């Protein structure tokens, strides 16, 4: 069974940094593209970033480009999101999502909450 | 970026009703689309992948159709546990984009 467990969220001030982690199990992590998706309170889903299997390619939403960095450690089956220069509008529940074998197919963790406030 | 629109943004329906939600892409995305159900405080749940394939374990009252730019999620007979918000997601190209969501509530 695919399991994704996010951690690292918390309350930070604007301009601060935070690193999120997603521990994966139940599948062969190495070959699988992984994503971060966020959801602001009461709002819809917003894709944030993706990394290819093996980590050679990374992709970012315009809203986070230059501030966030996605990475993975295949030896630890863990996905990361380094978030710098955080803004109030980055406040959201951050989900880790594993791309499945077919288009539109993603498995999700339960999320970790990031709150950016002074 | 590919824009996804969804309609309606909300609907009220009764148990047993047939419900359809549409999603339109700003450019052709073949069948590179999934449908998700989300309940308050829960992670999204995959219902349909590749536009029309039913995810294992999802009741057969859910179905998806469409290709190219126009897609539909249909619930053939709405059940109490189906009251939720539904999103489409395109992964034809980065950035991945979601529809804005359709909230289905009880009439």
**Residue B106: pLDDT over 90:** no
Interchain CB distance below 8 Å, A104 and B89: yes
Residue pLDDT, tens place only, B37-59 = 999 999 999 999 999 999 999 99
For B58-97, the DSSP string reads S-TTEEEEEETTEEEEEESS--GGG-SEEEEEE-SSSSPE
Distance from CA of A65 to the nearest CA of B (A): 11
Q: Say how many CB pairs under 8 Å bridge A and B.
A: 71
Q: What are phi and psi of A31, to 5 degrees?
A: -95, 5
Cβ–Cβ under 8 Å, residues B6 and B69:
no
Query: B43 and A109 in contact (C-beta within 8 Å)?
Result: yes
Q: DSSP label at A90?
A: G
Nearest Cα of chain A lies from the Cα of B52 at a distance, in angstroms, of: 10
- How close A95 comes to chain B (CA, Å)? 8
Give the burial string for A28-59 (b: 16+ CB within 10 Å, else e): ebeebbbbbbbbeeeeebbbbbbbebebeeeb
> Mean pLDDT, chain A, as a whole number?
97
List CB contacts (< 8 A) between A103 and chain B. Answer: 30-34, 49-51, 91-92
pLDDT at B107 exceeding the cut of 90: no
- CA–CA distance, A66 with A72 (Å, rounded to integer): 18
Kind plus residue range of the DSSP H or E element containing A11: strand A10-12
* Distance of alpha carbon B7 from alpha carbon B9, whole angstroms: 5
- A100 vs B contacts (CB less than 8 Å): 49
- What pLDDT was estimated at residue A30? 93
Give the pLDDT confidence score for residue B82 in this predicted structure: 96
pLDDT at B67: 98
Closest CA to B64 of B86, B81, B47, B78: B47
Q: What is the pLDDT along chain A (118 residues), one digit of tens a residue?
A: 999 999 999 999 999 999 999 999 999 999 899 999 999 999 999 999 999 998 999 999 999 999 999 999 999 999 999 999 999 999 999 999 999 999 999 999 999 999 999 9
Nearest to B44, CA basis, from A1, A42, A109, A5: A109
Interchain contact, B49 vs A110, CB within 8 Å: no
Q: What's phi and psi for B76, nearest 5 deg?
A: -75, -35
């Amino acid at each position: 069974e695919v399991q994704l467990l996010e951690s690292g969220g918390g309350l930070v001030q604007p301009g601060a940094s935070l690193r999120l982690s997603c521990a994966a199990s139940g599948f062969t992590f190495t070959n699988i593209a992984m994503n971060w998706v966020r959801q602001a309170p009461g709002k819809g889903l917003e894709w944030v970033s993706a990394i290819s299997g093996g980590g050679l390619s990374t992709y970012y939403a315009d809203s986070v480009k230059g501030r966030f960095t996605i990475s993975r450690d295949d030896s630890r089956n863990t996905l990361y999101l380094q978030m710098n220069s955080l803004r109030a509008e980055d406040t959201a529940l951050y989900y880790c999502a594993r791309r499945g074998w077919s288009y539109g197919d993603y498995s999700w963790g339960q999320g970790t909450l990031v709150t950016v406030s002074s | 970026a590919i824009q996804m629109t969804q309609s309606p943004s909300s609907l009220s329906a009764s148990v047993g009703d047939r419900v359809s939600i549409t999603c339109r892409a700003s450019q052709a995305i073949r069948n590179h689309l999934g449908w998700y159900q989300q309940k308050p405080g829960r992670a999204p749940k995959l219902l349909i992948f590749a536009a029309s394939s039913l995810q294992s374990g999802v009741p057969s009252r859910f179905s998806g159709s469409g290709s190219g730019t126009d897609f539909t999620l249909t619930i053939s007979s709405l059940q109490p546990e189906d009251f939720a918000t539904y999103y489409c997601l395109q992964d034809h190209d980065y950035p991945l984009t979601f529809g804005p969501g359709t909230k289905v509530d009880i009439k």
